[in-house]
Amino acid sequence: MSVVLPAERLQKTLGYVFSEPKLLKQALTHRSFSSKHNERLEFVGDGILNSIVARSLYFAFPQLSEGDLSRLRAHFVRQESLAVIASELQLGDYLSLGEGELKSGGHRRPSILADALEAILGAIWLDGGFAAVEAVLNQLFAARIAAVNPEEAMKDPKTSLQEWLQARKVELPNYVIERQQGDSPDQIFEVSCTIAELKVSAKAEGTSRRAAEQLAAGAVLHQLREQFPGKKVVRK
């Protein structure tokens, strides 16, 4: 029976096979692990990501102004959104991290996951060209762009959560720092967001308190929308 290597599984998930596998290896290597890390590939991937998402939004939303398109693009390419996609791809399982990052849970850290995703996009562009990376990005973003509500997406998760709760006359969330470790600029914050009245809570990690709060708020909002899809809220 043939054995499927981790890198092969990831390429199958992405829908792209590298001609130069070393590019994928580098894209998955954090600077804590090796001097041949993924930061230069991340730089390339960031530029490619912004240009392709901008093009997609231009055609998907002909009614939006330049300013609104910029804000909508920011929603899709921000760290929180990319970390969600990276988690869906299980990128954390493929990363090469130094011992310190492994111990501190770096394979789950939103900043590391988002950077790795951008690095992979940069690696695909260098390996296969623009059409190859565009195909991968369309696979990752097409459904998200088709389903997005522009007005809602242009708000940050904390604002959206607050508005959702206020519209239903539910008490506002309580944010608590559960854990803080490391020194700037490598600090990690773990924050919980709780809606006590509805008994809903979520935790998230970020490189700043604000980033962790935004991620936790987004996770809580996702739970609330699934549990209470309409306007009516049933207290538990």
Catalytic residue from among 8, 20, 39, 46? 46
137 CB-contact burial (10 Å; exposed 0-12 / middle 13-18 / buried 19+): buried
Contact (Cβ atoms closer than 8 angstroms) between residue 106 and residue 96:
no
Strands (E), 23-158: none
Please give the C-alpha separations between residue 39 and each of 64, 92, 155, in angstroms, as whole numbers: 33, 16, 29
46 counts as catalytic: yes
For residue 232, the number of C-alpha atoms closer than 13 Å in the C-beta half-sphere is 1
| Type of residue found at 144 | R
On whether 171 is known to bind a ligand per the annotation, the reply is no
On whether 118 is known to bind a ligand per the annotation, the reply is yes
Residue whose tokens read 């001609």: 19
Catalytic residue from among 68, 93, 101, 118? 118
On whether 42 is known to bind a ligand per the annotation, the reply is yes
Task: Report phi then psi at 78, rounded to 5.
Answer: -70, 160
Binding residue ranges for Mg(2+): 42, 115, 118
Binding residue ranges: 42, 115, 118
Residues with active-site annotation: 46, 118
